Amino acid sequence: MLSGDASRDRVAAARPLVLSLDDSPIAAAIAQELGGEDARFDSRRFPDAETYLRVDAPVSGRDVWFVARLDRPDERLVQTLLAAATLRDLGARHITLVAPYLPYLRQDQRFRAGEAISARYVAEWIGREVDAVFTVDPHLHRLGGLSEVYSIPAVAISAAPAIAEWVAKNVERPLIVGPDEEASQWAEAVASVIGAPHTTFLKDRRGDRDVIVSGDVRLDGHTPVLIDDIISSGMTIAGAAELLRTAGAARVECVCVHALFAPGANRALAAVDRVVSTNTVPHATNAVDVSPLIAAACARAPE
């Protein structure tokens, strides 16, 4: 005869466990889609700023979906790796890290002698602790895919359908504009869902906060909607918005996937009438919910 605890554990083990360190609507959506148990890590900081962690749910033998917020990664990566190591130690059968924003993908090469190739190192750390990673629109500039740095299965989910839906509902006669060549992939994807025209500018980055955006555009009565994956300093969007104003735009809209908003970004974005973002990174501009897209991708994952 099984004790109450043992039988509770056996029933729970049949359901996936969805865990996060905070109240994540994305974790709740995944749990609902998978019929899983939605649970939190009990976490706090010791006085010396180290992290205490505890899981208040049976873990042994279970498939675990661990949803982690990774903007400001230098503050959050250690916690995330500790959490994953705890899950492994407690006997999780399979651990998938769901990082709606996956950081450290930009420094993917050694541009100058002696530089760290951070994209590779961080991918190696994560790959040692979890079995798979899911993310939304990773910043793949020179990388052909996540598999160039991740040796575990790594799934990239596109936010384009959710962004396209927002644009269709909120902007009349949109012209989708990618502020640089790299953003043309998102501009094209969004434009093709709603059948809107699109164009792309060119960008010359001379420093962290020093970018020159150039290009020609004819508005023909359309409202430009800038689409980019990341807003960090805001300078890319500011440069593109300035061009659009020069071209006669009375209103400039902007949608980004990951609202990183470094200090000073709000000031830089004064040239834009409205900025909205997806909820991959919690921020005041969040208006596009990508939880259903993430949850559906998790449900499609092979057993």
Interface contacts to ligand R5P, rule CB under 6 A:
180, 182-183, 211, 228-236
Q: Between residues 235 and 281, which has the closer beta carbon with respect to ligand R5P?
A: 235
Task: Return the residue matching tokens 């359908």.
Answer: 161
Q: How far is the CB of 182 from ligand R5P (least distance, A)?
A: 5
Locate the DSSP E strands across the chain. Answer: 17-20, 37-45, 51-55, 63-67, 94-98, 132-136, 154-157, 174-178, 198-200, 202-207, 210-214, 223-231, 253-259, 274-278, 286-288
Q: How far is the CB of 201 from ligand R5P (least distance, A)?
A: 10
Q: How far is the CB of 139 from ligand R5P (least distance, A)?
A: 6
In degrees and rounded to multiples of 5, residue 70 shows phi and psi of -125, 20
Q: How far is the CB of 98 from ligand R5P (least distance, A)?
A: 22
What tokens appear for 198 in the block?
Answer: 């699109």
From first CA to last CA, the distance across the chain in angstroms is: 31
Q: Between residues 9 and 148, which has the closer beta carbon with respect to ligand R5P?
A: 148
| Spatial distance between the Cα atoms of 97 and 88, rounded to a whole number of angstroms | 12
DSSP 74-142: HHHHHHHHHHHHHHHHTT-SEEEEE-SS----S--S--STT---HHHHHHHHHHHH-SEEEEES---SS
Q: How far is the CB of 202 from ligand R5P (least distance, A)?
A: 12
DSSP 62: -
What are 39's strand-pairing partners?
19
Q: How far is the CB of 64 from ligand R5P (least distance, A)?
A: 31
Residue 291 burial (C-beta neighbours within 10 Å; 0-12, 13-18, 19+): buried
Nearest Cα neighbor of 66 from 98, 101, 91, 34 is 98
Q: How far is the CB of 276 from ligand R5P (least distance, A)?
A: 15
| Spatial distance between the Cα atoms of 232 and 224, rounded to a whole number of angstroms | 20
- Size (the chain), residues: 303
Q: Between residues 71 and 229, which has the closer beta carbon with respect to ligand R5P?
A: 229
Q: Between residues 71 and 180, which has the closer beta carbon with respect to ligand R5P?
A: 180
Q: Between residues 26 and 231, which has the closer beta carbon with respect to ligand R5P?
A: 231
Q: Between residues 146 and 230, which has the closer beta carbon with respect to ligand R5P?
A: 230
Q: Between residues 64 and 211, which has the closer beta carbon with respect to ligand R5P?
A: 211
| DSSP-based three-state secondary structure for 241 | helix
Q: How far is the CB of 102 from ligand R5P (least distance, A)?
A: 13
Q: Between residues 129 and 137, which has the closer beta carbon with respect to ligand R5P?
A: 137
